[in-house]
Structure 1
């Protein structure tokens, strides 16, 4: 009994999550439609007018045959000319209105997509670092590309096609019923097998569609993994094996697409058969009635024309289902992403810090990532303004966590992190970003010039200020030697900087920002020995007259600090100046001895 109860609880929870996703996606769609509801209703009116003009054609043909021709035989050409002229006018009007519908629908859909793209980008920027470390960049890219494309396909043609097709069928059936109710009854009877076939196609296509999407995703993953790991593939001679594995995935994808094509073939063939049988039935029944004087020839021709055009929209409605399934799933994912809340909220009453000094305090800080174990059980630190403190220790000791708390990428569970006496949770975000700059080992450069990448530290800086920052950290000569100097592009069409060179550019960026507190998190890890020697003078300039927290395994930077903290399991186990800790003979002394032995031959001691 307990198992079934738990199963019911799980099912209820899953149903609740599904209902929650559905509500979020409906709310998102409603918020996207509200700003464009005026143009959207205008598009609906255009659809109605266009279909009304097109459906009038067969009725005018009937009028021309049954009234125009007899009048012409009696010497009066006006009825025939009116019918023919009306047919031409409605055909032209239908074409013009259809074109206007396409344009209006495109304007509405593009406005919605622009709004949605901006929302996704803006929201992902506002989300905290915890989200980005949990939610992989590939998933975010998928939201901005494939999911938005699925919504685009639905908005660009799917909804308009559905509305146009449904209205065309409704107006066609109504016009035929008004013209001749018996022929209309034949058409309505034929709708039953058509609807059954369409429903059968929808259920089968959902399965084949999912199979095709899954196979496509597996094929892409296999391709990306093989290309990314090409060095390992070639080093271990795995080309043949990877070719077979990729071939298996390609065959799986081909088989899924083949099944989808065959399903579409059955659906199209079935609809064509039902449509042709309906036309034949209308023609036979109507022809017999013409012979007995039950209806006029023009009405019979109009009935055949209406019957022919009735089943074409049904095929489009069936094909719409796949687009709807894809867009619905995509909209749920986008709504879930937009429902994410920042774990580091903006302060309700921000405190300004116009002239930061860089005085830092950790007061009884306890921290753990998410709901995980505690990383910093109780951390206390006071860094007076203008001083440099270095944190060293084994990987996972908690050093980078301290850096992330200083930059307020995370908030502590308990305790406070203060800058110049102000809790970071209360500090104005703009003042915090100006006062604290963090340089990590991942020196990311954006597409653009070297100068633009350095100026990221202070947008609006002059070329002279950019060059001064580059000289200060020792990267000016490198930049000047590039093909276009500071205007050299650092994307795939331009120069490719090494990891150490990118790090030097990031130092120049930090120097230009001129923060009160500088945080270096393994910032020299990408530098080789010559590069490290080159950057030491630049770092001295960079760290001068400002507060700094330096996290490094390499001790070349640590030895210039005013104070060193050795961290183990989130606790400070040694504290003092570099020379004091070396003389003390503890953990730092052992690290120092290993460092001197490793670099002794390079002339850095």
Structure 2
């Protein structure tokens, strides 16, 4: 019987377009979810100062409430004055209440309310500034502390100038975003909400639709991308300056001053170009927003004047409405600025978090009395394991256990003197005798113990021939391994060292990717085979 195969029909153009739209929609959802996560992460930075920020927010609501009462008050005062002058004004309960008060009582009460607003604004700014300074201080300390605990490979990949620029500039951006910018954003949001509500209260037919908010959000997103590119370019130029000044003798020795000046000028011009793009985007937005705002104001006066003439509204109500429309436009512009600064703060937070979360945290178990070789590419986490075992630093998360005891509960000096012995890949020799160098870790050692240690390290012949030098060979390592009851952890580089191990642990990017005996790993496939082939080649 002949086998018949069928193929699915080709997708039509409409189906392809539908799939493209679906993919674009899903990408937008993913981007929105990512942005919300980044905003939450940004706000968590301010958690330690939440009491001050709560107090500042309370003061903000009071001062904003007073500010938003000004247009309404001015409108009623205008109608009140016209009424006192004998002009005809539409009657209202508020006007009758104001007419019952003396001028001194009326204006004195308003002055007290404005004083309350000023007092609240004073404390809003003071509390926000203090909270911002504390947040920046704590953030810098936390980032620097985490940087100091990074693996040495981290500093090989990231230049010191770039790191210092991130700490200084990004911490300041984050502090400003979660305090002053957040305060301004809340203030403008309150003003926009109350302003729109009061415009509807005064007269619904005059209320324009605030369509500029959509443009503000679009501009905020574009500004975020431009700000990230500008910050990266500025960081690169700063790193170049520091790198070349640190190596100024090399630059001079090879007569490369002109070349380095040209490289720096190119980076500086990139920063200039990006800054001009950001300025151009801002100019288009602010210019368009200003033009549309003026058109709206002119429309309000034109149509509002006809309403006043027909007696539909009072001159004071038109004045209040016009001021609220101005407040609304001003607030929407402020919300746009807030959104742009928020995007900059989100980007800065992401860069700082990247600095703090770089430390690799491998998980592994080393049996007692075994000879273990740890292998991996540069930056995989080998040196971090050695530093953790010696308690040069403690893990931020997780723990290191010896016989079930957390190293953090043990005295570091006792650990290094009695539990763990360390042999560096590049031993340091002090400017003294070989005997004193050998006994450096145990100053009370007897001459017999020193001689025994020298024999175990195969350093006796070398010591007699070269009183200021010593050597470390595969034979001496084998002697250490043969010692009974010792657990040996070797940061392995040579093939001969790995072959002697009972167990080989392969690391990659801070994770254990392979574990096994040398013979088994060498026969199989995976990262260990790749490392061996790279070494042999």
Please give the TM-score of this superposition, normalised by the length of structure 2: 0.64
**Does the 8 Å contact 1:436/1:515 carry over to 2?**
yes
1:106 corresponds to 2:129: yes
Q: Structure 2 residue aligned with 1:565, among 470, 476, 492?
A: 476
For each residue in 1:476-502, what CA deviation from the matched residue of structure 2 results, as whole angstroms up to 9, or x when unmatched? xxxxxxxxxxxxxxxxxxxxxxxxxxx
Matched ranges for 1:489-504 at <5 A: none
**Does the 8 Å contact 1:50/1:97 carry over to 2?**
yes
1 CA distance for matches of 2:355 and 2:30?
A: 14
2 CA distance for matches of 1:206 and 1:122?
A: 28
2 CA distance for matches of 1:16 and 1:338?
A: 28
Aligned to 2:280: 262
Q: Note the C-alpha offset of 1:307.
A: 2.2
Aligned to 2:66: 53
Please give the TM-score of this superposition, normalised by the length of structure 1: 0.58
Aligned to 1:366: 373
1:428 corresponds to 2:414: no
**Does the 8 Å contact 1:71/1:77 carry over to 2?**
no
Larger RCO: 1 or 2 (CA < 8 Å, sep 6+): 2
**Does the 8 Å contact 1:367/1:374 carry over to 2?**
no
Structure 1 stretch displaced more, 156-165 or 516-525: 516-525
Aligned to 1:320: 338
1:407 corresponds to 2:390: yes
Give SS of 2:205's match.
helix
**Does the 8 Å contact 2:60/2:120 carry over to 1?**
yes
Aligned to 2:437: 539
For each residue in 1:333-366, what CA deviation from the matched residue of structure 2 results, as whole angstroms up to 9, or x when unmatched? 444555567637899xxxxxxxxxxxxx963223
Q: 1:206 to 1:82 in 2, by over 3 A?
A: same
Q: Note the C-alpha offset of 1:519.
A: 4.5
Matched ranges for 1:272-421 at <5 A: 272-335=290-353, 343=361, 363-369=370-376, 407=390
1 CA distance for matches of 2:380 and 2:183?
A: 53
Q: 1:137 to 1:21 in 2, by over 3 A?
A: farther
Q: Note the C-alpha offset of 1:162.
A: 0.8
Q: 1:224 to 1:15 in 2, by over 3 A?
A: farther
Q: 1:243 to 1:339 in 2, by over 3 A?
A: closer
Matched ranges for 1:162-201 at <5 A: 162-183=185-206, 185=207, 188-189=208-209, 191-192=210-211, 194-201=212-219
Q: Structure 2 residue aligned with 1:67, among 80, 92, 109?
A: 80
Q: Note the C-alpha offset of 1:71.
A: 2.9
Structure 2: gaps spanning 5 or more residues: 1-6, 8-23, 88-98, 395-399, 479-493, 501-537
Higher strand fraction: Structure 1 or Structure 2? 1
**Does the 8 Å contact 2:230/2:275 carry over to 1?**
yes
Q: Note the C-alpha offset of 1:26.
A: 6.2
**Does the 8 Å contact 1:151/1:331 carry over to 2?**
yes
**Does the 8 Å contact 2:151/2:359 carry over to 1?**
no
Give SS of 1:181's match.
coil
Q: Note the C-alpha offset of 1:516.
A: 8.2
Q: Note the C-alpha offset of 1:56.
A: 0.8
**Does the 8 Å contact 1:222/1:246 carry over to 2?**
yes
Q: Note the C-alpha offset of 1:72.
A: 5.7
Aligned to 1:235: 253
For each residue in 1:356-386, what CA deviation from the matched residue of structure 2 results, as whole angstroms up to 9, or x when unmatched? xxxxx963223224799999xxxxxxxxxxx
**Does the 8 Å contact 2:153/2:378 carry over to 1?**
no
2 CA distance for matches of 1:81 and 1:341?
A: 68
**Does the 8 Å contact 2:226/2:278 carry over to 1?**
yes
Q: Note the C-alpha offset of 1:152.
A: 0.8
Q: CA RMSD in A?
A: 4.9
Q: 1:374 to 1:573 in 2, by over 3 A?
A: farther
**Does the 8 Å contact 2:63/2:121 carry over to 1?**
yes
**Does the 8 Å contact 2:132/2:180 carry over to 1?**
no
Q: 1:16 to 1:522 in 2, by over 3 A?
A: farther
1:90 corresponds to 2:108: no
2 CA distance for matches of 1:334 and 1:374?
A: 21
1:151 corresponds to 2:174: yes
**Does the 8 Å contact 2:43/2:178 carry over to 1?**
no
For each residue in 1:453-482, what CA deviation from the matched residue of structure 2 results, as whole angstroms up to 9, or x when unmatched? xxxxxxxxxxxxxxxxxxxxxxxxxxxxxx
Aligned to 2:524: none
Say how many residue pairs are matched.
431
Aligned to 1:247: 265
**Does the 8 Å contact 1:28/1:335 carry over to 2?**
no
Q: Note the C-alpha offset of 1:99.
A: 1.8
Give SS of 1:61's match.
helix
1 CA distance for matches of 2:282 and 2:380?
A: 53
Aligned to 2:483: none
Q: 1:150 to 1:292 in 2, by over 3 A?
A: same
Q: 1:178 to 1:16 in 2, by over 3 A?
A: closer
Q: Note the C-alpha offset of 1:211.
A: 3.2
Q: Note the C-alpha offset of 1:131.
A: 7.9
